[in-house]
Structure 1
Amino acid sequence: MKTYYFDHAATTPLHPDVAKAMLEIMQGPGGNSSSMHAYGRAAKQQLNRSRDSVSAALGCKPAELLFTSGGTESDNAALTGAARAQRKRGKTHIITSAGEHHAVLHTCEWLAKEEGFNVTVLPIDSNGRTSPELVQAAMTPETGLISIMHGNNEIGTLQPVEEIGQIAKASGAIFHVDAVQTLGWIRYRLSELPVDLMSFSAHKINGPQGVGALYVANGTPLEAIQHGGSQERKRRAGTENIAGIAGFAAAVDICVNELKNKQLFMDKLRKRWIEMLQTHVDVPIVINGSERQYLPHIVNISFIGIDTETMLMNLDMEGIAAASGSACTSGALERSHVLRAMDLPQEQIQSAVRFSFGLGNTLEELEDAAQKVGTLVRRIRNNY
């Protein structure tokens, strides 16, 4: 059976050049970058080259880039580390939004419950956007940390991070941005953005799973939450994953070189997918999210009258991989907290499916898959 992978927002296939870069290191003699002998120095050199490469692509200094195990660790390290540092300055108020990834929301909940921080969770509008005006209105003299994602992982909506960053900067609050979904789709010059902390993940850009990064702008107070050795300038203990980090660097390099063409092609795929579904599917479909401010590779569609779980099961039987929302919770098939926060009608929330495109997808396979979706929708309706 022919298969179709339309779940790149969950994870992406490893790029062949990334695999090659990693394999060279994995088949080598090995070496701990903290060791003083030749093997350790070689590992350290590779680590430095990777850090230099990624930081240059992101427009920041190498010393401002901290390697982690992925987006979740980066979010946790940023929020917990910054919150604790700001508490020493008398600032115990945190602002975030209802549309954030659970790596942010659950961390904020934990900080409120276990460490006594005051957390304000702002609403999002029907497009999934966070209003800078609401951020401004929520500010207090005790506000020490604001965390707003750049691009939503479920609906693709882009957030006004520059405007929110200016609000944070004016008040002296630390501004954290979860950029896990936007890396590879947005060209960053971090030194020019009003952002103090930014989280990234390799496996969203055709890099390896289990590797990520956290940008920490010079002068940003941040307490380490992982203790042991003095790796990563004493901010993240633990032996660095040299092969994974090298793969991350290779993936970032590919993203920088292919960004413009990839943006245009994925936006073409996204628009064509919507057009073809409107042609082949005989139930009303609704696009969830912003019509103008969106990531080009993500589209969230409600098939009105078709339950999400039923739709996903039938898609899977046809070899089409899609999702109900965040990959971190889709195993439980929970209704999307993002769509609920957008205050959409229940018929949209209960019938929403996320499709996300990337490396390997073509117009031809989308046309084939759209016909299959049309057929299975008719089959589902006939069985009701």
Structure 2
Amino acid sequence: MSRVYLDWNATAPLRPEARAAMAAAMDVIGNPSSVHAEGRAAKMLLERCREQLAEALGAAQADIVFTSGATEAAVMALEGQGLACAGIEHDCVRAWCAESLSADAMGQVALSDPAGCALQLANSETGVIQALPEGLAVSDLTQGLGKVPIAFDWLGIGAGLVSAHKLGGPRGIGALILRAGADRAARLRGGGQESGRRAGTENLIGIAGFAAAAAAAQRDLAAGMAEKLTDLRDRLIRRLEDADGITMFPGRESRRLPQTVSILTPGWKGETQVMQMDLAGFAVSAGSACSSGKVRSSGVLRAMGYADGDAGCAIRVSFGGATMPGELDRFAEAWLTARARWQGRQGR
């Protein structure tokens, strides 16, 4: 049988709308910084894409700076700011913040000084969604964009980070979203592109794919995609539950993304599960994919209070609009069979 891809939070399959937009952008030969007709055509496309992304983000009153991805946007937003964060954040955020905040067992973080903190909207491993407080300095919106409604202008935060490939756009393109009136010093200096905030000729092909993917994701949300995926998520969890409660689902009691399931069976290493599922034809992961291919104990789960040994026994299943119910049923059967074999070896 064909393989089933269940690692959408790492990289979602390229949307057909993004592929078409990128193909069309390849025929736009001008440089957006050139003043001739071809350059003006490229500039017009660039700004149209910026407006399209702003609409998807609810960020009409904000400034959008295109970057190579959310990691570069994080550097621009966080370097030198002296902000605090919790251990549930992505590594690209934790690298620039003091990890001095705590998450509770449900993955929630309480802030006493939002202006001095960075807090993600949604966690890539557990799917847990945070209630972002007004006045928050920076939020990683990457996993939420296209999966839950976002209205940046209403959030009252200073800056947001987004990336295209998490919602069906191309890899290598992202953006920093800045509240109107806010600014960041350019780290890449040169030609003065992106209003002087990020030098270098814009990746127009990637930007076109990003904007098209974001617009398509918003249409899916309006058509009820989140509700459909929530039903699939909850159905999968019911299939995987065991009567004695050995297997846990971190973050289950919190509001969370509609298409993310964290599965933890103490004693059964996540790395082993990933390999067994791969051999069975299913692509899943054991935490964030941004670890140079390494499988390690989840820092997110440790931050939520799980013991180090248990935090190494979780896998993540993430899917999207193209995932069929039967594919999740097949995964459940394969995983339950593997768990039964593991329990047999443990004498359980």
TM-score, reference length from structure 1:
0.85
| RMSD over aligned Cα atoms | 2.0
Say if 1:51 and 1:62, in contact at 8 Å, map to a contact too. Answer: no
Structure 1 residue 125 corresponds to structure 2 residue 96 = no
Output one character per residue of 1:231-261: Cα deviation in whole Å (capped at 9) or x when no partner.
Answer: 0000011110111111111111111111141
After superposition, residues 1-384 of structure 1 pair within 5 angstroms as 1-26=1-26, 28-61=27-60, 64-80=63-79, 83=81, 93-108=82-97, 119=98, 121-132=100-111, 135-136=112-113, 145-161=116-132, 163=133, 165-166=134-135, 168=136, 175-260=137-222, 261-278=224-241, 284-329=246-291, 331-346=293-308, 348-383=310-345
- Which structure shows the bigger proportion of residues in helix conformation? 1
Give the letter for the 1:152 counterpart: N
Distance (Å, rounded) in 1 between the aligned partners of 2:212 and 2:118: 28
Distance (Å, rounded) in 2 between the aligned partners of 1:345 and 1:337: 10
Q: Shift of residue 63 of structure 1?
A: 6.1
Say if 1:176 and 1:198, in contact at 8 Å, map to a contact too. Answer: yes
Query: Which segment drifts farther, 13-22 or 368-377?
Result: 368-377
Instruction: Return structure 1 stretches of 4+ with deviation > 4 angstroms.
Output: none
Distance (Å, rounded) in 1 between the aligned partners of 2:55 and 2:28: 28
Q: Shift of residue 18 of structure 1?
A: 1.2
- Partner of 2:66, secondary structure, is strand
Say if 2:69 and 2:175, in contact at 8 Å, map to a contact too. Answer: yes
Distance (Å, rounded) in 1 between the aligned partners of 2:73 and 2:261: 25
Cα 1:187–1:23 shift into 2, 3 Å: same
Q: Shift of residue 185 of structure 1?
A: 1.9
Q: Shift of residue 57 of structure 1?
A: 2.4
Say if 1:9 and 1:204, in contact at 8 Å, map to a contact too. Answer: yes
Distance (Å, rounded) in 1 between the aligned partners of 2:176 and 2:159: 7
Q: Shift of residue 228 of structure 1?
A: 1.1
Figure out how many residues of one structure are paired with residues of the other and give that number: 345
Distance (Å, rounded) in 1 between the aligned partners of 2:345 and 2:292: 25
Give the letter for the 2:191 counterpart: G
Distance (Å, rounded) in 1 between the aligned partners of 2:3 and 2:172: 26
Matched residue, 1:87: none
Say if 2:298 and 2:311, in contact at 8 Å, map to a contact too. Answer: yes
Q: Shift of residue 145 of structure 1?
A: 3.8
Cα 1:130–1:290 shift into 2, 3 Å: farther
Matched residue, 1:113: none
Q: Shift of residue 311 of structure 1?
A: 1.0
Say if 2:62 and 2:177, in contact at 8 Å, map to a contact too. Answer: no
- Partner of 1:249, secondary structure, is helix
Cα 1:62–1:195 shift into 2, 3 Å: closer
Structure 1's unaligned 5+ residue stretches are 84-92, 109-118, 169-174
Give the letter for the 1:299 counterpart: V
- Partner of 2:43, secondary structure, is helix
Q: Shift of residue 190 of structure 1?
A: 1.8
Q: Shift of residue 383 of structure 1?
A: 4.7
Distance (Å, rounded) in 2 between the aligned partners of 1:277 and 1:193: 36
Say if 1:283 and 1:303, in contact at 8 Å, map to a contact too. Answer: no
Say if 1:13 and 1:359, in contact at 8 Å, map to a contact too. Answer: no
Q: Percent identity?
A: 37
Cα 1:282–1:309 shift into 2, 3 Å: farther
Q: Shift of residue 318 of structure 1?
A: 0.4
Q: Shift of residue 356 of structure 1?
A: 0.6
Structure 2's unaligned 5+ residue stretches are none
Say if 1:282 and 1:378, in contact at 8 Å, map to a contact too. Answer: no
- Partner of 1:147, secondary structure, is coil
Q: Shift of residue 41 of structure 1?
A: 1.2
- Partner of 2:241, secondary structure, is helix
Give the letter for the 1:95 counterpart: A
- Partner of 2:175, secondary structure, is strand
Cα 1:239–1:330 shift into 2, 3 Å: closer
Say if 1:128 and 1:290, in contact at 8 Å, map to a contact too. Answer: no
Distance (Å, rounded) in 2 between the aligned partners of 1:274 and 1:209: 30
Say if 1:283 and 1:304, in contact at 8 Å, map to a contact too. Answer: no
Q: Shift of residue 2 of structure 1?
A: 2.4
Distance (Å, rounded) in 2 between the aligned partners of 1:40 and 1:95: 42
Say if 1:312 and 1:353, in contact at 8 Å, map to a contact too. Answer: yes
Q: Shift of residue 290 of structure 1?
A: 4.3
Query: Which segment drifts farther, 319-328 or 216-225?
Result: 216-225
